Amino acid sequence: MNLDRAVLIFAGTMILGSLVLAHFQAPEWLWLTALIGVVMLQSGITGFCPAAIVLKKMGLKPGSAFR
């Protein structure tokens, strides 16, 4: 697995998890969904992705999107 796929899997898991928490616990969890969306938008514009930095330090090999 490369870094690009890991970032997408991580983001998708976090979004789905926050939606489940918002549905079963409290609607305030939707703020986490919004935060993830903002970070994804910022990453698409600037190329800076905090999750990619952490996953790269964990030893994942870079793909074509995050270097």
Q: How many C-beta neighbours within 10 Å does residue 11 have?
A: 17
Instruction: Tell me the pTM.
Output: 0.85
41 vs 62, residue with greater confidence: 41
Assess whether pLDDT exceeds 70 at residue 67: no
Q: Domain segments of the chain: what residues?
A: 3-57
Is the pLDDT confidence value at 65 over 80? no
Phi, psi of 36 (to 5 degrees): -60, -40
d(Cα 47, Cα 40) in Å, to the nearest integer?
10
Report which DSSP code applies to 59. T
Q: Compute CA distances 43 → 4, 10, 40, whole Å.
A: 12, 14, 5
- Mean pLDDT within 9-14: 96
Q: What pLDDT does 20 receive?
A: 98
